[in-house]
Amino acid sequence: MRGVFTVVLFMFCNLLLLTDNSSAHPLCTNMRSPFKPKTPLSFCQYNGSVCCNSTDDMQLQNLFQAMKVSDLGCASLLKSILCSRCDQFSAALYGTESVPREVPVLCNSTQYQHSGVDFCSKVWDECQNVSISNSPFKLQGRGGTPFNSTSKLSDLWQSKTTFCDTFGGSSHGELFCFEGGPVLLNNTEIPSPPSGMCLEKIGNGSYLNMVPHPDGSNRVFLSDQPGKVWLATVPEEGSGEMLVIDESNAFLDLTDQVYADTELGMMGLAFHPKYLQNGRFFASFNCDKVRWAECSGRCSCNSDVGCDPSNLGSDNGAQPCQYHSIIAEFTANGTASQPSLVTSVKPLEVRRIFTMGLPFTTHHGGQILFGPNDGFLYFMMGDGGSVGDPYNFSQNKKSLLGKIMRLDIDNLPSATSISDLGLWGNYSVPGDNPFSEDKELQPEIWALGLRNPWRCSFDLERPSYFLCADVGQDQYEEVDIITKGGNYGWRVYEGPFPYNPPKSPGGNTSASSINPIFPVMGYNHSDVNKAEGSASITGGYFYRSTTDPCIFGRYLYADLYAGSIWAGTETPEDSGNFTTTKVPVSCALDSPILCSAEAGSSVPALGFIFSFGQDNRKDMFILASTGVYRVARPSRCNYTCSKENATSFAHPGSVPSPSPFASSTTKLNNPLLELLLLLCSLLLLLFSFL
């Protein structure tokens, strides 16, 4: 009898939910109220009240892994769809039938006039030709015919229209739809800019790279341009303590191999995603073949790209391809029982991953990152130098200059394969790199048309967002969202502006022959108070720490010379439409190390801003010529942030995350219905324990 009553009560609650589509009462698919989990969800990183516990979260992670999706963009979308079961409005997203939908109602701009994002079309565009095992879409495709094997969306539906007719929910008139992240209400206004950003100085060293220790601790690796890497311990924010680092005991010392100059040196550091098991890590640096015999590789100016090294002349007295860009692999195995316990390693290469001779002495990029979803190594390479990329390397699809490369360093080829495939080192090429669609591209290339990408990052909360800052020539500094096969315009364009190179021995590329992707953020050279007579962008990160909730979700970047810092806010979410604000910066008077040039001053003496960093707490750091600075609580600099002391919020801060949250404009306008729905939830909860 109790079971019958429960079913009747469940149906009554469903009817209430459907009675007034303007209701915004959060309910889970089991018709219970959302709750705050005892431990944060690790896979589906929803904050605040949710509909999943840690067991549910692990099950969703297993489902995602079982899909075996190799495409980065599609995988990110599928993860967000699976995780929508944890949304506090999941009952509305999945329908209120006795058997919930397999996937949530996907926002389709043609069906939902309140939504500016056609998420359903985005899923189709990204995933239509991607193989998906155990697809969550299979049971609703073509009359519900199940597909047991790996399938593609294009195997199940004839077109985007039929797919979105099924999953866009056009026949139900749902109030809520899923745009790729947690549902927020009344989230259509552009958030007000932060009143300012507070810093504390915790170290005096000058570094180019900060990498959080893979063990999840409060330790980080710091590397400098001459070629040393240190292991440092980061104190709690506001503790009054400084960075703990033993300058006399480097984790790795490559100064004998590295050639350091203005734009040469050790440029990148990356740890294998399974470092704690295999001890593998990688360094990217420049070397001089005159000083080091092992600095030897093919010149990037060669017959394959229509370039004759003898015509390059000299750049600051250097021979063509005297300097090289190298990625070398090292190991922490053998020096301790576990890589997490290793505090120093020998400077002995396990293998040379990549070597390429450089035509000039500037614009070499050099950063390396592992993709958080695919595990491949991304290598950022500039156009090789000189004014205006005279040999048009960036647009030359056979050249690796002016490109972002994507390499598989886990499946190493044989020496014969390296020669046969024309590879530049010990790596293989991921099969889904853009060359599979554009046969003119060198297989290593992931994106092209860049001048000098200086600091790129994947968003911690949305790994499909891969942002790179690209240094400009005469007018404009830019930030780009990097996508597979994307062409970012240089040297046909400098940012959004057409560019006319002063000389073109390597030929020109017509604007009509490319489909450029223009920057989402940036600034004109005239917008900064330039020191050294120049401007140069330094890319950063989406801020994901709770330390300053009023800049949460904004992308922070800076100018190397001017010391200016900008915050970019995306509105609406997942639109690629950013507004930027120059952020005032002050130094906390209780900073562990004096920040300013003068005692009592609140203006930090940053000097040159070389890079940004993040630690395992998600706190953000500025790596400057004068030291290491951390973003601190706003109140320590007397900045006003209404969310700083808030005890609960869906996402910290007044700023929405760049995750593609839904943007329903509805409001709860029926108090009686809200009370009845709450009563239903409580009764269902009560009967579940009887």
Secondary structure in 3-state letters for 357-420: ECCCCCCCCCCEEECCCCCCEEEEECCCCCCCCCCCHHHCCCCCCCEEEEEECCCCCCHHHHHH
Q: Are residues 46 and 79 in the same domain?
A: yes
* Burial environment of residue 249 by CB neighbours within 10 A (0 to 12, 13 to 18, 19 or more): exposed
Q: Are residues 142 and 287 in the same domain?
A: no
pLDDT of residue 90: 86
Q: Are residues 366 and 240 in the same domain?
A: yes
Q: Are residues 387 and 520 in the same domain?
A: yes
What domain range includes position 450? 197-503+513-637
Q: Are residues 630 and 678 in the same domain?
A: no
Q: What are the tens digits of pLDDT across the range 386-444?
A: 999 999 999 999 999 999 999 999 999 988 888 888 899 999 999 999 999 999 999 99
* Within-domain flag for 460: yes
Q: Are residues 164 and 292 in the same domain?
A: no
Q: Are residues 176 and 206 in the same domain?
A: no
Instruction: Please tell me the distance from the alpha carbon of residue 142 to that of residue 98, in angstroms, as a whole number.
Output: 22
Contacts of 119 (CB under 8 A, 6+ apart): 106, 107, 108, 177, 178, 179, 180, 574, 660
* Within-domain flag for 38: yes
Instruction: Please tell me the distance from the alpha carbon of residue 318 to that of residue 506, in angstroms, as a whole number.
Output: 20
- β-sheet with 537-542: strand ranges across: 537-542, 555-559, 565-570, 578-582
pLDDT of residue 567: 96
Of 3-7, 356-360, 443-447, least confident by mean pLDDT is 3-7
Q: Are residues 186 and 135 in the same domain?
A: yes
* Within-domain flag for 642: no
Q: Is the pLDDT of residue 670 over 80?
A: no
User: Which residue, among 432, 436, 435, 270, has the nearest Cα to 354 in the 3D structure?
Assistant: 270
Q: Are residues 151 and 211 in the same domain?
A: no
* Within-domain flag for 658: no
Instruction: Please tell me the distance from the alpha carbon of residue 557 to that of residue 568, in angstroms, as a whole number.
Output: 8
Q: Are residues 102 and 169 in the same domain?
A: yes
CA 637 from centroid of its chain's CA atoms:
29
Q: What are the tens digits of pLDDT across the range 341-366?
A: 999 999 999 999 999 999 999 999 99
Q: Is the pLDDT of residue 20 over 50?
A: no
The larger pLDDT score, comparing residue 598 to residue 379, is at 379
Residues written for the chain: 690
Q: Is the pLDDT of residue 231 over 70?
A: yes
Of 6-10, 453-457, 584-588, least confident by mean pLDDT is 6-10
513: helix, strand or coil? helix
* Within-domain flag for 227: yes
User: Which residue, among 211, 207, 209, 217, has the nearest Cα to 338 in the 3D structure?
Assistant: 217
* Within-domain flag for 40: yes
Place of tokens 């960093």: 613
Q: Are residues 239 and 171 in the same domain?
A: no
C-alpha distance from residue 248 to each of 253, 469, 530 (Å): 11, 33, 36
* Within-domain flag for 27: yes
Angle between helices 72-83 and 54-67 (to 10 degrees): 150
Q: Are residues 181 and 209 in the same domain?
A: no
Q: What are the tens digits of pLDDT across the range 130-153?
A: 888 888 887 544 444 444 467 888
pLDDT of residue 649: 35
* Within-domain flag for 652: no
CATH number at residue 317: 2.120.10.30
Domain count, the chain: 2
